[in-house]
Structure 1
Amino acid sequence: MKNLYLILVALALLPLGVKAQQGQMQFFRPNDQRGLNIFETSKKDTVAFTGLKVKIGGNFELSFQDLTDGNTALPKTQTGFTGNVNSLIKLMPGFNLPMANLNVDVQLADGIRLNLTSYLATRHHEDTWVKGGYIQFDKLTFLHSDLVDQLMKSFTIKIGQNDVDYGDQHFRRSDGGNTIYNPFVENYIMDEFSTETGAEIYYHHKSGFFLMGGITNGELNETVVAPTKIDSATKQVNKYPPAYHGKIGFDKQINEDTRIRLSGSFYTVSSANSSTLFGGDRTGSHYYYIMSNQNIANGTTLNNAVDYNAFSGRFNPGFSEEVHTYMANLFLKHKGLEFFGTYEDARGRSITETSNRGAKQYAVDVIYRFPANKENFWVGGRYNTVTATIAGNPADVTINRGVGSIGWFMTKNIMMKAEYVDQVYKNYANTNILNGGQFNGVMLEAAIAF
């Protein structure tokens, strides 16, 4: 964590010579409890611009894990590794490596905001990594056009290396040290999240209708090196065309007690250097060492990673070459009762495959927050299931997860939560480490956000 102190010292010197100050940002999602159930930022112009503002924020989380796992896979040896590569690491209760994020938000001009987020320490990368950044335009007053000013009352433009706005779940997921928006410890089994370079344009209507169109380079790690690999489906040298995504929906506070949001999203790319829509998280799973093998870990060369299986408990369909996927989300909130549902249908392949495979995901969250008007406590449950075709497996595999959660916002910046999780793997071949796999147990997590 020494990098954290160096960065904070450097940032503390930024205001010298510049009239920068902590203050409210325009068209901004707060980093703390106030950011719950905010998806795309609102077009409500409620913060007056009074000059350049710099906001330094952070996210910190610490978790205690008491999980047990098991499987029925046949013993297997593998070239380059010693011992049975299908045996599981023996686990014990204990604390996991804490994760931390650093957030820098700058109000550059009236209606123009900049964000830069860095991962200071995570499970997947122990050292500091820049997650990404973007500039958001909600006003274009520098163009001095009354017509443009009127249009921008309904439009938002985001440009940069940023979260791909595919689906609504990524607004509720844990992101390294940022776990304040997630009522559970972990994300979905099939975690759709990636940062890509591109732009998104949003249209907001006062009725609650909204529309978004986006284009990106389709890559987490950009490259200007010409491709040389041959696509097994086309028999041609691989190409790196743009990726496209979009969203349409309706989000309305019907009355004082009831809100409804319904959205549909898609993401599509026909070929890529390495598409990471289902594997773009640079922080790692919050379930440590689940369904992992010590012999492979011992024989794996790592570079700035805590363990070889940083995404344990998740499922990546392996659509690294071609991805075509869509998601439907329904969010309902009546007083303290919340419902969030997800249906996802994805198809894709790797560069060595000649045809697409499929993966489907369903998830339902039910959360009750109390007491009225404060909602700083909650109880909740989640059911999440994935069914997918994977290469070399005789049948489609299924992964089911059930989670129960309780939590407490001690203040708007400090949160504690506990959950019980049970996950089961079905239909994996008996030579796969996940054959007959299951894990369950208790997780405790504390988080700070500001």
Structure 2
Amino acid sequence: MRKIFQKTLATALILGSIGVSAQSNRDLDNYRYTDKRGVNVFEAPKTTESGFDGLKVRFGGASTLQFQGISHENSESVRLQPIGSNFNLATANLDIDVALYDGVRMHLRTFLSSRHHHETYVKGGYFQIDKLDFIKEGFMEDFMNYTTIKIGHMENNYGDAHFRRSDNAQTMHNPFVGNLIMDSYTTEVGAEVLVQKNGFIGMLGITNGKLNQSVDKSEEELSPGIYEEGSSGGASFLAKLGYDKQINSDLRVRITGSIYNTGYVPNSYLYAADRAGSRYYGVMIAADAAGDDFRSGRYNPNLKNSISAIMFNPFIKYKGLEFFGTIETASGKATAELEDRTANQLAAELIYRFGKNENLYIGGRYNAVDSEDMTHGDIAIKRSQLVAGWFMTNNILMKMEYVNQKYEGFGATSTLNEGKFNGVILEAAISF
């Protein structure tokens, strides 16, 4: 089976290279580009113009390589594994986007190489519907002029921070190297309805609340509404409201508020779903750990079975200067807990883009988390990042980041007790 898969993948890559060389126009309708053109784009743009002229397959991908020079330390109550300066595992993505019909397309992303899964696996995919002409020409046209429907096992549209994060090898849209400390991101099976009109944004969505899909319900119900992990119960609800407007040629303003809520799921992965792993390799991991903690450098409040999360994101861009903020609070608990716990996150980014077509930038980010941790009580994590970037072309980005992260409130038996790490990462990214 493995050989068959490898041959299938090799065939797809060959066909993809042929498709890329043969396509004189790789543009798709209502599509966020994976190269520099997708920077500061959030939801896929919505237009009524159509460029559909038959079935069209767009093969694309991304590759990222890092050189990491980070050191770490703690109170030495638990010894850390030694780390040095060297290259990290190169990561790679394969994207397939298909225009199936006028106003209907498919997206599929596969991680060819990632920190957690060195083998190839599918991240997820979805159908995006911008017209209902496949039912009847002009069907609900007035409504669909402003509406996008997405259905699939996909990255859920909670908050705006996930549009600026690194998605394995797709790092082109992230001005920094690392994602947020509480990296709110998950892929679940569901549907979203997005309306964009005159700058106003509204979205409603529902998912089954599961990262790992299964119909298995072998565990018996323990009590009304409570199931063991692995059961098939649970659902999650999403909503977003916002406003995004280019006020004039110099000024753009966007602000959104989002919510993600589930009354009960067997296992919520909102802050633990990124199987591609953290961008800071090997940091704060115990010397006797059995393997690589691919989430190193991040924090999961472990609101495992019940969670309500709210995120506000302001974005302001004036000429080359841009500000992006994140204000987030999440509350919930694991089944065994009697009371809800709360985790809060604050992040502020300031980026200045300059040069020809803003191909150069410098910036900084401050990110702080405070949480009622299930094991350690009240804890805090603080991170500062400084970055410089150069778009050599629309498809090639070089970054250099300095990061400094500190941990407070973790117990003496924790690897994070009086912990901190800092250093420099160089990242080279290609996306097409």
Smaller-chain TM-score bracket: over 0.9
- For 1:156, give the aligned amino acid: T
Aligned residue for 2:130? Answer: 138
Distance 1:110 1:401, change over 3 A: same
CA deviation after TM superposition for structure 1 residue 150, in Å: 1.8
Between the aligned partners of 2:138 and 2:48, the Cα distance in structure 1 is 17
Q: Is 1:9 aligned to 2:1, yes or no?
A: no
> Within 1, Cα distance between the matches of 2:276 and 2:327?
25
Residue number in structure 1 paired with 2:167: 175
- Partner deviation per Cα, 1:305-347 (whole Å, 9 max, x = no partner): xx43011000011112111110000000011101000100001
Query: 2: CA distance between counterparts of 1:195 and 1:444?
Result: 28
Paired residue for 1:277?
Answer: 270
Contact in 1 for aligned 2:103/2:129 (Cα 8 Å): yes
SS at match of 1:89: coil
Deviation for aligned residue 1:223: 1.8
What are the superposed Cα offsets for residues 259-312 of structure 1, whole Å, 9 maximum, x if unpaired?
000000000111112110111101001100000112123xxxxxxxxx430110
> 2:82, 2:235 → 1: CA distance?
44
Residues 363-382 of structure 1: per-residue CA shift (max 9 Å, x gap): 000000002x6000000000
What is the distance in 1 between the residues matched to 2:226 and 2:149?
36
Superposition pairs for residues 261-410 of structure 1, below 5 Å? 261-297=254-290, 307-371=291-355, 374-393=357-376, 395-410=377-392
Question: 5+ unaligned residues in a row in structure 2: which ranges?
Answer: none
Match of 1:216 among 203, 207, 210: 207
In structure 2, the CA distance between the partners of 1:231 and 1:417, relative to structure 1 (3 Å rule), is farther
Matched, 1:51 2:50: no
Q: 1:401 to 1:231 in 2, by over 3 A?
A: farther
Question: 1:328 is matched by which residue type in structure 2?
Answer: F
Give the equivalent residue in structure 2 for 1:448: 430
Task: Report if the CA contact (8 A) 2:149-2:193 is conserved.
Answer: yes
Residue among 8, 22, 27 paired with 1:24:
27
Is the CA contact (8 Å cut-off) linking 1:180 and 1:449 kept in structure 2?
Answer: yes
Distance 1:6 1:241 in 2: 35
Report the Cα offset of residue 354 of structure 1: 2.3
Distance across 2 between alignment mates of 1:231 and 1:126: 37
Counterpart contact for 1:366–1:382, Cα < 8 Å: yes
Match of 1:419 in 2: 401
Q: Is the 8 A contact 1:349 1:355 kept in 2?
A: yes
Given the alignment of the two structures, is residue 158 of structure 1 paired with residue 160 of structure 2, yes or no? no
**CA 1:270–1:286 in 2, change beyond 3 Å: closer, same or farther?**
same
Q: Which moved more, 1:127-136 or 1:268-277?
A: 268-277
TM-score (norm 2): 0.93
TM-score of the two chains, using structure 1 as the length reference: 0.90
Q: 1:423: Cα distance to partner? A: 0.3
Equivalent residue in structure 1 for 2:70, among 54, 64, 67: 67
Name the aligned partner's letter for residue 37 of structure 1.
N
Residue type of the alignment partner of 1:274: N
Q: Distance in 2 between matches of 1:392 and 1:292?
A: 17
Contact 1:73–1:430 (CA under 8 A) maintained in structure 2: no
Contact 2:35 2:172 in 1 (8 A): yes
RMSD of the TM alignment (CA)? Answer: 2.1
Contact 1:285 1:314 in 2 (8 A): yes
The one-letter code matched in structure 1 to 2:270 is L
Letter in 2 for 1:35: G
> Residues 389, 58 of structure 1: CA spacing in aligned structure 2 closer, same or farther, 3 A cutoff?
same
CA distance in 2, matches of 1:434, 1:337: 36
For 1:41, what is the secondary structure of its paired residue?
A: coil
Taking the aligned partners of 1:235 and 1:223, their CA distance within structure 2 comes to 19
**Aligned-partner Cα distance in 2 for 1:122–1:153:** 38
1:403 shift after superposition: 0.3
**How many angstroms does 1:253 deviate by?**
0.4
Indicate how the Cα distance of structure 1 residues 215 and 94 shifts in structure 2: closer, same or farther if over 3 A, else same: same
Give the match for residue 107 of structure 2.
115
Q: Distance in 1 between matches of 2:50 and 2:319?
A: 27
- The 1:98–1:402 alpha-carbon spacing in structure 2 relative to 1, beyond 3 Å, is same
- Deviation of the 1:143 alpha carbon: 2.2
